[in-house]
Amino acid sequence: MGTHEQARPAHAVDRCEPARRAWIAEAIRKVEADANRSADTHLHVFPLPPEWGVQLYLKDESVHPTGSLKHRLARSLFLYALSNGWIREGTPVIEASSGSTAVSEAYFARLLGLPFIAVMPRTTSPEKCALIEFHGGRCHFVDDPAMIYAEAARLAEETGGHYMDQFTYAERATDWRANNNIAASIFEQLALEPHPEPAWIVVSAGTGGTAATIGRYVRYRQHQTRLAVVDPEGSAFYESWVTGDPTLTAKGSRIEGIGRPRVEPSFLPTVIDRMYRVPDAASLACMRWTTEITGRSVGASTGTNVWGALQIIAEMRSRGERGSVVTLICDAGTRYTHTYLSDTWLTTQNINITPYLNDLRTLLPPT
């Protein structure tokens, strides 16, 4: 500017809201304090015969305050939304869910004094619905599971709320390098074990966020661990991964919490080394068998995980390989008393678990 030019005032728009920032800061503190109180989840040894030369570990995510793996996701989603300024004091929070994520999000919404609505298929287990309501949330049912996304978005628009959209934001909300990272926890807990770098980690996919987090982490830390994703029948993930077509759709899964009728935005196929399609009867047989062997109540997605882990262990044994395999306990079987643990429900669904259960009991009889 020359010496004789008159300075022109700068034009600015200030949207700073100190009171809003203070509320967000306090909300984040409350969410982080919950993590400090919860500490970490346990890594259990699955009792395989020592002569097999393979160790199987179960990362027990059912011990979170809301009883499932989705507690980690809900915490990350709330921190992400708060940090982005999407949630403020009084904002209604809306989610599309098959149950467990909604239970965990209802917990965090109540922690922050926010109203919460879960949009869910009408077939969601009564136990999960009761838990959502216990934590202060409201259940909003749809008859067509494929409509949960549009209905959640509509409710958010109608109420002036925020649609959390776990299926889009799961893979980006969780920091795969550090914060709230299940992969880092697994490797830390394996540090003193015979095979501290697992040969395989086996997980199932609902949003795809857990698989994305683990797959990215093992590459970032330069581990040789491979990632296997198990997918229940009726899900679109497996066929999409095999064919490379992300537009594929399917009828949807009967195993709550995993498998989807469409390929979700958070499903990251490039970090997956292998996929298995698991029959529902195998998942449900393995759910019951895992409880028989370990004494721990587990849900159907855990049965799917353990079934996939057993396929890998059988392959390792056939090759004379030694090493470790890790999979997850996603939630407890007590959430499925009226469905997966009910022989009457199995009959109505035309699911026969007996052949799979007999094979599992032959492999490793209950103690």
Give per-residue pLDDT as tens, 53-110: 999 999 999 999 999 999 999 999 999 999 999 999 999 999 999 788 999 999 999 9
Strand partners for 328? 59
Q: What is the DSSP letter of 262?
A: B
Per-residue model confidence (pLDDT) at position 5: 60
Mean pLDDT in the chain? 94
How far, in Å, are 19, 25, 30, 126, 219 from residue 111 at the CA level? 19, 14, 7, 23, 35
pLDDT of residue 180: 59
Query: DSSP string of 309-340?
Result: HHHHHHHHHHTT--EEEEEEE-B-GGGGTTTT
Query: Once rounded to an integer, what is the mean pLDDT over residues 196-224?
Result: 96
Tokens at residue 124, please?
A: 């969601």
Does the pLDDT value for residue 137 go beyond 70?
yes
- Report whether pLDDT(357) > 60: yes
Quick one: which of 33, 30, 206 has its CA closest to 109?
30
Q: What does the pLDDT average to over 133-146?
A: 94
Res. 175: pLDDT tops 90: no
In this predicted structure, the answer to whether residue 39 has a pLDDT above a threshold of 80 is no
How many other CB atoms are there within 10 angstroms of residue 363's CB atom?
A: 12
Element (DSSP H or E) covering residue 354: helix 354-363
15 pLDDT tier (thresholds 50, 70, 90): confident
| pLDDT the model gives residue 3 | 55
Which residues, other chains included, contact 208 with Cβ-Cβ below 8 Å and sequence gap of 6+? 170, 171, 237, 264, 266, 267, 268
pLDDT at 179: 61
Q: What is the pLDDT of residue 146?
A: 87
53 DSSP 8-state letter = -
Partners of residue 324 on adjacent β-strands: 55
Question: Which residues fall within 8 angstroms of residue 324, CB to CB, at 6 or more apart?
Answer: 54, 55, 56, 57, 190, 193, 194, 195, 196, 197, 198, 199
Q: With cut-offs at 50, 70 and 90, classify the pLDDT of residue 4.
A: low
The token duo for 29 is 């503190």
In the chain, the amino acid numbered 347 is T
Q: What is the largest CA-CA distance in the chain?
A: 95
Q: How big is the chain by its Cα radius of gyration, in Å?
A: 22
Rounded Cα gap, residues 195 and 191, in angstroms: 8
Residue 138 tokens read as 């409201």
- Chain length of the chain: 367
- Which helix (H) or strand (E) segment holds residue 202: the answer is strand 200-204
pLDDT of 1 > 80? The answer is no
* Cα three-residue angle 99-105-107, rounded to 5 degrees: 110
Contacts of 337 (CB under 8 A, 6+ apart): 127
Residue 268 pLDDT level (bands cut at 50, 70, 90) = very high
Model confidence at 6: pLDDT above 70: no
Token pair listed for 350: 């035309």
Strand partners, 180: none
